[in-house]
Amino acid sequence: MPKIITPAQSSDLPEIYRLFEQAIQFQREKNYIGWNNYDKEFIREDIRNQLLYRILNGEDTLGIFSLCYSDPLIWREMEKSDAIYLHRIVLNREFRDIKLFSLLLDWALEHAGQKKLKHLRMDTWAGNEKLINYYKSYGFRFIEDYTTANTEELPVQHRNLKVALLELTI
């Protein structure tokens, strides 16, 4: 199945919002640690800055994710402008049987290599051992648990949140 990764456009917002709402509903149904809501302004800003991407197969959006190249609010003194950060990965539940993370990871590693960056970093919910181990199976190593600040500089769903920091050295 051919898949491409492309920057999201403002016209994609209804589908992006649908995917976030679908993810929140799934997390609630399964009693998983997860989002209670999401920050639409941060999503629109990511699109304006061409930092939100869609994973496509034809017309189907298989998933979305955001990138950033600096994350000092979460990575603090570890932030050295030598990493690419994956955020807000949302997979379309209609395509749950497709292993999309390996495609996203290959793309992110190539992208980081082109920018001569040393690390691929991400965070996920602390305490979600299943998800942390999933990312570790792809070569990420656990760095630490950290509770984020309650600041407007972070999307509402990332404020005062206990996260596990994960890093893959390239």
The string of pLDDT tens digits covering residues 58-78 is: 989 999 999 999 999 999 999
Res. 127: pLDDT tops 90: no
Confidence of residue 88 (pLDDT cuts 50, 70, 90): very high
The arrangement of strands across the sheet holding 119-125 comes to 4-7, 52-57, 60-68, 83-91, 119-125, 162-169, 141-147
The residue ranking higher by pLDDT, 83 or 59, is: 83
**pLDDT at site 37:** 85
Distance, in Å, from the CA atom of 70 to the CA atom of 55, rounded to the nearest integer, reads: 23
Q: How many residues does the chain have?
A: 170
pTM value is: 0.92
4-122 fold: Aminopeptidase (3.40.630)
Res. 2: pLDDT tops 60: no
SS3 category, 77: helix
Confidence of residue 137 (pLDDT cuts 50, 70, 90): very high
pLDDT (tens digit per residue) in 41-58: 999 999 999 999 999 999
**pLDDT at site 7:** 97
**pLDDT at site 143:** 98
**pLDDT at site 1:** 54
**pLDDT at site 6:** 96
**pLDDT at site 115:** 96
